[in-house]
């Protein structure tokens, strides 16, 4: 009997060690996943932030200087899109010379919105989400592509 008892104890230890190892692995995986930082970047074939209709941005005067506000309003086309936006390629025609308020950069975000560098990525991602949702929709291909390219979501069969 003691022999079987020892065997039973050994089996219990071995099986629980296995479960413990699995649990530690799972915990480690969760910690790595949650601490993985996502870097913002602009994705091709979007252009949502080039839809400038002031009706959708009632707080413009809170972060644009009077000169920038004048420049901003001068760029709004009849359809609400920026006159410098190419709807076919969905790219900026004056990219290298685009105004300060079109540039998604940590130093500019700090000055315009008071966003600290550590919060830049999350803030920029939220801005893109908000803009894409407003222009194309929250479930749009543009939103899925943005999330996929930044590694925020898993690709699904119906993604385009
Ligand atoms: S909304 Fe974001 S991803 Fe889309 S064009 Fe603007 S910066 Fe790029
Ligand atoms: S200037 Fe270029 S980046 Fe800025 S809103 Fe117009 S098209 Fe978009």
43 lines ligand 1 (CB under 6 A): yes
Q: Which ligand is nearest to the CA of 135?
A: 1
Residue 68 CB neighbour total at 10 angstroms: 16
- The number of helix segments (H) and strand segments (E) in the chain equals 6, 2
Task: Report residue 150 as tokens.
Answer: 């930044």
Give alpha helix (H) positions in the chain: 2-35, 60-63, 66-75, 106-113, 120-135, 141-150
SS3 61: helix
Q: Is the pTM of this model over 0.85?
A: no
Task: Report residue 4 as tokens.
Answer: 């079987």
Q: What percent of the chain has pLDDT over 70?
A: 72
Spacing, Cα 42 to ligand 1 middle (Å) = 5
- Flag whether pLDDT at 34 surpasses 80: no
């Amino acid at each position: 009997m003691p022999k079987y008892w020892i065997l039973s104890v050994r089996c219990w230890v071995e099986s629980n060690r296995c479960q413990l190892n699995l649990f530690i692995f799972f915990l480690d995986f969760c910690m790595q996943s949650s601490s993985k930082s996502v870097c913002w970047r602009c994705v091709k074939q979007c252009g949502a932030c080039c839809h400038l209709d002031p009706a959708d941005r009632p707080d413009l005067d809170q972060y644009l200087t009077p000169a920038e506000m004048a420049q901003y309003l001068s760029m709004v086309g009849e359809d609400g899109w920026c006159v410098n936006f190419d709807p076919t390629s969905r790219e900026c025609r004056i990219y290298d010379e685009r105004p300060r308020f079109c540039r998604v950069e940590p130093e500019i975000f700090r000055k315009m919105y008071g966003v600290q560098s550590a919060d830049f990525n999350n803030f920029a991602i939220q801005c893109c989400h908000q803009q894409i949702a407003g222009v194309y929709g929250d479930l749009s291909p543009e939103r899925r592509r943005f999330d996929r390219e930044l590694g925020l979501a898993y690709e699904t069969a119906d993604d385009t």
